[in-house]
Structure 1
Amino acid sequence: MTDHSVDVGLSVAPAPWKLRGRWWVFLLSPLPKDVSFPAGWTTEWQADALARDEFVGGPGVIMVVQYDESPVGPYDELIYVPGRFKHKDGSVAFRITRIYVSTKDSTENGRRNWNIPKQVAKFEYTRDPSSPYSWSLSVFPVPEDPSEDSTPFFSATVRPIPLVTNVLHVPCNTKIIPGNLFSLTQPPLPKGPLAEEIESGVEITEGPQLNKKAKYAKLSPEVKCKMFLVNMTPELGNGTAVGDGVMFPAVKPWSIAAGVEGFDLTFPVSEWVEL
């Protein structure tokens, strides 16, 4: 794909990526295919691109990830996936429609490599020193003035389940899971208002005139890990939601969530296709 980098101060890190760290998965009740997406499901300027194709519903998911190792260094991540989409070729796959990361390098490279609509946000963790499974996370918009206070648009707390979390750790390897359970198909993205929010998935061919071809990124991340169960509590709207309904959906995930410590994750080179 064409390199649309506009910020020479950021590192260019092409796929594949090898990553290590920890994450938590918050399951959402399935959205019917004919329902509107919840407010905050994406940005206004990316909505047309990310609403392409037929939404077929299915379970949604929120993921909180801490990367200790990546080609662009450590960073934090918050992901929203509303469900699955059906494409013109008949394929069905999940789609990330809202995602925040803590660095510009991850934002620009994620958009360039996989059409993932990353934006930068500020992550604040509060940890319980008595338990490695206890923490609270609040995610804030990045203020123009660093001295300004801001209100979190996402907040949740995770706690261990007595007699379960410390004991039950289940191995997981996506290589042995058949089908497209973990497949993503991400549509091409427009340029955003910030330098790192680059246009992606656009191939430019030169000739008598410039031609653009919009291409989707198809990929199946691979992960090897051990999973455990935890309790999740929403912290916004008097405990009714994890998001504010503006910068993140005001949804309430299931109270039982999955955690992963010490994963090995590969984000492969995308298959670029016209759909």
Structure 2
Amino acid sequence: MSTEQSDIPVEPAPWRLTGKAWLFLLSGVPELSSLPAGFAATYQAEALATGGKYIGGPGLVQVVSYTESPVGPYNELIYTPGRWQYDDGSAGFRITRIFVSTKASAANGRRNWNIPKEVADFDYKKGPDGNMHFSVSLPGTSTPFFKASLQSVSLVTRIAIPGKTTLLGQYFKLIQPPLPAGDNPEEVGTSQWVDLVPVMKGSAHAIWVIPEIDGKLGDGVNFPAVVPWSLAIFLDNVDFNVGVATFFDSR
């Protein structure tokens, strides 16, 4: 272990986090060969595409701002293309691209749950037009690889609907393959498969999402150039529980 990696605090599961989240729904990718460019970092793309049978279904882009976590506040950007099915009959979503704003979140997310986190710089703020503006860029660069703005949906945004992912039970299961180690100290490698069912609850509001990189959310290199559904979900006062994973040698 490098000296720099040893300076990253180790925070085992379970984690409880609070914050807010923005969920952008995507039309399903029909087959594995159709996964968009940028669906995963090059060095871990093969690991994240193989194992099990890809069965598709709706995809998701998620932006989260955590105000409290075991490793302190941080931001997160997630891409989930769909679900995979396995020989034992189980099925689950798979996160294939995810950026966070701190090394502590990246290292522990990989170690605890095989979540393929990388570090990026986040910027989000309310503009003079009243919209929320998001952008994410690689460290030390100024050109965003992800950019979007969010607009209120008149009266609908004033109605908060309690929401909790456990209402759909095992449908929200994540099944994540082992990860290769990356070049950066926080890009920890792992050796076993992971199953987990994260729980998220909060107040849901409808919003409009406006993709801002040539009409898409990403640049097609560091993040998929996907077009979300126009209507999105904002979750306020969110309580996240990410438990201890179940580990398997194979799936």
Report the TM-score, using the length of structure 1 for normalisation.
Answer: 0.87
**Equivalent of 1:183 in 173, 177, 199:** 173
Q: Counterpart of 2:229?
A: 254
User: How far does residue 128 in structure 1 lie from its aligned partner after superposition?
Assistant: 3.8
User: How far does residue 35 in structure 1 lie from its aligned partner after superposition?
Assistant: 4.3
Cα pair 1:72 1:105 within 8 Å, conserved: yes
Q: What is the number of residues matched between the two proteins?
A: 249
Cα pair 1:78 1:101 within 8 Å, conserved: yes
Distance 1:49 1:101, change over 3 A: same
Tell me, what secondary structure is at the counterpart of 1:248? coil
Please say which structure displays the higher CA radius of gyration: 1
Query: 1: CA distance between counterparts of 2:43 and 2:33?
Result: 21
Cα pair 1:6 1:198 within 8 Å, conserved: no
Q: Counterpart of 1:159?
A: 151
User: How far does residue 130 in structure 1 lie from its aligned partner after superposition?
Assistant: 8.5
Query: 2: CA distance between counterparts of 1:114 and 1:192?
Result: 16
* Structure 1 runs of 4+ with >4 Å offset: 3-6
User: How far does residue 4 in structure 1 lie from its aligned partner after superposition?
Assistant: 10
Tell me, what secondary structure is at the counterpart of 1:180? helix
Query: 1: CA distance between counterparts of 2:3 and 2:200?
Result: 28
Are 2:77 and 1:78 equivalent residues in the alignment?
yes
**Equivalent of 1:227 in 166, 180, 204:** 204
Query: 2: CA distance between counterparts of 1:119 and 1:262?
Result: 26
Query: 2: CA distance between counterparts of 1:234 and 1:128?
Result: 15
Q: Deviations over 1:179-230 (max 9, x none)?
A: 4221100000000011100101x2xxxxxxxxxxxx2110001122110100
Cα pair 1:4 1:199 within 8 Å, conserved: no
Are 2:186 and 1:196 equivalent residues in the alignment?
yes
Matched residue type, 2:105: S
What is the alpha-carbon root mean square deviation over aligned residues? 1.8
Cα pair 1:6 1:195 within 8 Å, conserved: yes
Cα pair 1:234 1:241 within 8 Å, conserved: yes
Query: 1: CA distance between counterparts of 2:61 and 2:196?
Result: 19
Higher helix share: 2
Can you give the 5+ residue segments of structure 2 that lack an aligned partner in the other structure?
none
Query: 1: CA distance between counterparts of 2:228 and 2:3?
Result: 36
Q: Counterpart of 1:169?
A: 160
Q: Counterpart of 2:42?
A: 44
Are 2:136 and 1:139 equivalent residues in the alignment?
yes
Query: 2: CA distance between counterparts of 1:230 and 1:124?
Result: 19
